[in-house]
Structure 1
Amino acid sequence: MPHPHPHPLPLPHPDVAALLARSNRLGSDARNTNFAGGNTSAKGTAVDPATGGEVELLWVKGSGGDLGTLTESGLAALRLDRLRALAAVYPGVEREDEMVAAFDYCLHGRGGAAPSIDTAMHGLVEAAHVDHLHPDSGIALATAADGEKLTAECFGDTVAWVPWRRPGFQLGLDIAAIKRDNPQAVGCVLGGHGITAWGDSSDEAEANSLHIIRTAEAFLAARGKAEPFGPLLDGHGPLPLEERRERAAALAPLIRGLASTDHPQVGHFTDTEPVLDFLARAEHPRLAALGTSCPDHFLRTKVRPLVLDLPPGAPLELAKARLTELHTAYRTDYQAYYDRHATPDSPAIRGADPAIVLVPGVGMFSFGKDKQTARVAGEFYLNAINVMRGAESVSAYAPIEESEKFAIEYWALEEAKLRRMPAAKPLATRVALVTGAGSGIGKAIAHRLVAEGACVVVADLNAENAAAVAEELGGADKAVAVPVDVTSEEQIAAAFKAAALAFGGVDLVVNNAGISISKPLLETTAEDWDLQHDIMARGSFLVSREAARTMAEQGLGGDIVYIASKNAVFAGPNNIAYSATKADQAHQVRLLAAELGEHGIRVNGVNPDGVVRGSGIFAAGWGAQRAATYGIEEDKLGEFYAQRTILKREVLPEHVAAAVFALTGGDLTHTTGLHIPVDAGVAAAFLR
Structure 2
Amino acid sequence: MNDVVEAGAGAAGAVQDLVGRSNRLGSDPRVTNYAGGNTSAKGSATDPVTGEPVELLWVKGSGGDLGTLTEQGLAVLRLDRMRALVDVYPGEEREDEMVAAFDYCLHGKGGAAPSIDTAMHGLVDAPHVDHLHPDAGIAIAAAADGEKLTAEIFGDEVVWVPWRRPGFQLGLDIAAIKAANPQAVGCILGGHGISAWGDTSAQAEERSLSIIRRAEEFIASRAAARGEHPFGAVRPGYEPLPDAERRARAAALAPVIRGLASVDAPQVGHFTDSEPVLDFVARERLLPLAELGTSCPDHFLRTKVKPLVVDVPTSATVEETVTALRTAHEAYRADYAAYYERGAAVARARGEEPPAMRGADPAIVLVPGVGMFSFGRNKQTARVAGEFYVNAINVMRGAETISTYAPIAETEKFRIEYWALEEAKLRRMPAPKPLATRVALVTGAASGIGKAIAARLAAEGACVVVADLDAAKASAAAAELGSADVAIGVAVDVSSEAAVRAGIQEAVLAFGGVDLVVNNAGLSLSRSLFETTEADWDLQHNVMAKGSFLVSREAARVLVDQGMGGDIVYISSKNSVFAGPNNIAYSATKADQAHQVRLLAAELGQYGIRVNGVNPDGVVRGSGIFASGWGANRAAVYGVPEEKLGEFYAQRTLLKREVLPENVANAVFALCTSDFSHTTGLHVPVDAGVAAAFLR
Partner of 2:234: 232
Question: How is 1:381-420 mapped onto 2 (pairs within 5 angstroms)?
Answer: 381-420=389-428
Helix, strand or coil for the counterpart of 2:674? coil
Partner of 2:165: 166
Helix, strand or coil for the counterpart of 1:357? strand
Q: Distance in 1 between matches of 2:484 and 2:235?
A: 34
| 2:12 is aligned with 1:13 | yes
Counterpart amino acid of residue 133 in structure 2: H
Question: How is 1:308-323 mapped onto 2 (pairs within 5 angstroms)?
Answer: 308-323=310-325
Helix, strand or coil for the counterpart of 2:130? strand
Helix, strand or coil for the counterpart of 2:452? helix
Counterpart amino acid of residue 22 in structure 1: R
Q: More displaced, 638-647 or 124-133? A: 638-647
Partner of 1:623: 631
Q: CA deviation at 1:361?
A: 0.8
Partner of 1:73: 72
| 2:535 is aligned with 1:527 | yes
Q: Distance in 2 between matches of 1:527 and 1:242?
A: 35
Q: More displaced, 349-358 or 526-535? A: 526-535
Partner of 2:196: 197
Partner of 2:280: 278
Q: Give the aligned CA root-mean-square deviation in angstroms.
A: 0.8
Question: How is 1:300-311 mapped onto 2 (pairs within 5 angstroms)?
Answer: 300-311=302-313
- Asked whether the 8 Å contact 2:11–2:45 carries over to 1, the reply is no
Q: Distance in 2 between matches of 1:61 and 1:376?
A: 20
**Of 601, 616, 620, which residue of structure 2 is paired with 1:608?**
616
Partner of 2:293: 291
Counterpart amino acid of residue 69 in structure 1: T
Q: How far does the alpha carbon of each residue in 1:294-315 deviate from its partner, in whole angstroms, 9 at most, with x for none? A: 0000000000000011111211
Partner of 1:113: 112
Partner of 1:462: 470
Helix, strand or coil for the counterpart of 2:375? strand
Q: How far does the alpha carbon of each residue in 1:61-100 deviate from its partner, in whole angstroms, 9 at most, with x for none? A: 0000000000011000000000000001100011011010
Helix, strand or coil for the counterpart of 1:523? coil
Q: Distance in 1 between matches of 2:11 and 2:143?
A: 41
- Equivalent residue pairs, number: 678
Counterpart amino acid of residue 557 in structure 2: R
Q: Distance in 2 between matches of 1:425 and 1:339?
A: 32
Counterpart amino acid of residue 258 in structure 1: L
Helix, strand or coil for the counterpart of 1:505? coil
Q: Distance in 1 between matches of 2:695 and 2:407?
A: 65
Question: How is 1:532-551 mapped onto 2 (pairs within 5 angstroms)?
Answer: 532-551=540-559
Helix, strand or coil for the counterpart of 1:13? helix
Q: Distance in 2 between matches of 1:534 and 1:507?
A: 24
Q: CA deviation at 1:642?
A: 1.0
Q: Distance in 1 between matches of 2:467 and 2:674?
A: 24
Helix, strand or coil for the counterpart of 1:481? strand
Counterpart amino acid of residue 497 in structure 1: Q
Counterpart amino acid of residue 111 in structure 2: G
Q: Given the two structures, how large is their TM-score scaled by the length of structure 1?
A: 0.98
Question: How is 1:329-408 mapped onto 2 (pairs within 5 angstroms)?
Answer: 329-342=331-344, 343=348, 345-408=353-416
| 2:560 is aligned with 1:591 | no
| 2:141 is aligned with 1:142 | yes
Q: Distance in 1 between matches of 2:50 and 2:315?
A: 73
Partner of 1:214: 213
Partner of 1:4: none
Q: Distance in 1 between matches of 2:430 and 2:12?
A: 31
Q: Given the two structures, how large is their TM-score scaled by the length of structure 2?
A: 0.97
Q: How far does the alpha carbon of each residue in 1:455-487 deviate from its partner, in whole angstroms, 9 at most, with x for none? A: 111111111110101111112101111111111
Counterpart amino acid of residue 445 in structure 2: A
Question: How is 1:238-249 mapped onto 2 (pairs within 5 angstroms)?
Answer: 238-249=240-251
Question: How is 1:594-673 mapped onto 2 (pairs within 5 angstroms)?
Answer: 594-673=602-681
Q: How far does the alpha carbon of each residue in 1:461-518 deviate from its partner, in whole angstroms, 9 at most, with x for none? A: 1111101011111121011111111111111011111111100010000000001011
Change (3 A) 1:462 1:12: farther
Q: CA deviation at 1:571?
A: 0.8
- Asked whether the 8 Å contact 2:11–2:43 carries over to 1, the reply is no
Q: CA deviation at 1:665?
A: 2.2
Partner of 1:103: 102
Q: CA deviation at 1:12?
A: 6.8
| 2:176 is aligned with 1:177 | yes
Q: How far does the alpha carbon of each residue in 1:130-157 deviate from its partner, in whole angstroms, 9 at most, with x for none? A: 0000000000000000000001100000
Counterpart amino acid of residue 88 in structure 1: D
Q: How far does the alpha carbon of each residue in 1:526-547 deviate from its partner, in whole angstroms, 9 at most, with x for none? A: 2211111111111111111111
Partner of 1:6: none
**Of 433, 439, 442, which residue of structure 2 is paired with 1:425?**
433
Counterpart amino acid of residue 508 in structure 2: A
Q: How far does the alpha carbon of each residue in 1:249-269 deviate from its partner, in whole angstroms, 9 at most, with x for none? A: 000000000000000000000
Counterpart amino acid of residue 326 in structure 2: T
Q: Structure 1: which 5+ runs fail to align? A: 1-10
Q: CA deviation at 1:449?
A: 0.6
- Asked whether the 8 Å contact 2:40–2:130 carries over to 1, the reply is yes
Counterpart amino acid of residue 474 in structure 2: A
Q: Distance in 2 between matches of 1:92 and 1:345?
A: 19
Q: Distance in 2 between matches of 1:48 and 1:397?
A: 50
Q: Distance in 2 between matches of 1:35 and 1:356?
A: 17
Q: CA deviation at 1:17?
A: 0.4
Q: Distance in 2 between matches of 1:235 and 1:480?
A: 34
Q: Distance in 1 between matches of 2:279 and 2:26?
A: 27
Q: Distance in 2 between matches of 1:244 and 1:462?
A: 27
Q: Distance in 1 between matches of 2:569 and 2:286?
A: 44
Q: How far does the alpha carbon of each residue in 1:425-459 deviate from its partner, in whole angstroms, 9 at most, with x for none? A: 00000001000001100011011110000011111
Q: How far does the alpha carbon of each residue in 1:358-407 deviate from its partner, in whole angstroms, 9 at most, with x for none? A: 00111000000000000000000000000000000010000000000000
| 2:265 is aligned with 1:263 | yes
Q: Structure 2: which 5+ runs fail to align? A: 1-9
Partner of 1:7: none
Counterpart amino acid of residue 336 in structure 1: A
**Of 427, 437, 449, which residue of structure 2 is paired with 1:441?**
449
Q: Distance in 2 between matches of 1:639 and 1:214?
A: 69
Q: Distance in 2 between matches of 1:291 and 1:31?
A: 21
- Give aligned-pair identity as a percent: 76
Q: Distance in 1 between matches of 2:396 and 2:620?
A: 59
Partner of 2:7: none
Question: How is 1:447-596 mapped onto 2 (pairs within 5 angstroms)?
Answer: 447-596=455-604
Counterpart amino acid of residue 192 in structure 1: G
Q: Distance in 1 between matches of 2:16 and 2:95?
A: 32
Partner of 1:3: none
- Asked whether the 8 Å contact 2:25–2:66 carries over to 1, the reply is yes
Q: Distance in 1 between matches of 2:569 and 2:49?
A: 60
Q: Distance in 1 between matches of 2:473 and 2:645?
A: 25
Partner of 2:329: 327
Counterpart amino acid of residue 252 in structure 2: A
Q: More displaced, 538-547 or 390-399? A: 538-547
Q: Distance in 2 between matches of 1:465 and 1:275?
A: 33
Q: How far does the alpha carbon of each residue in 1:623-655 deviate from its partner, in whole angstroms, 9 at most, with x for none? A: 111011011111111111111111111111111
Q: Distance in 2 between matches of 1:522 and 1:242?
A: 48
Q: CA deviation at 1:666?
A: 2.1
Q: Distance in 2 between matches of 1:507 and 1:683?
A: 34
Q: CA deviation at 1:524?
A: 1.2
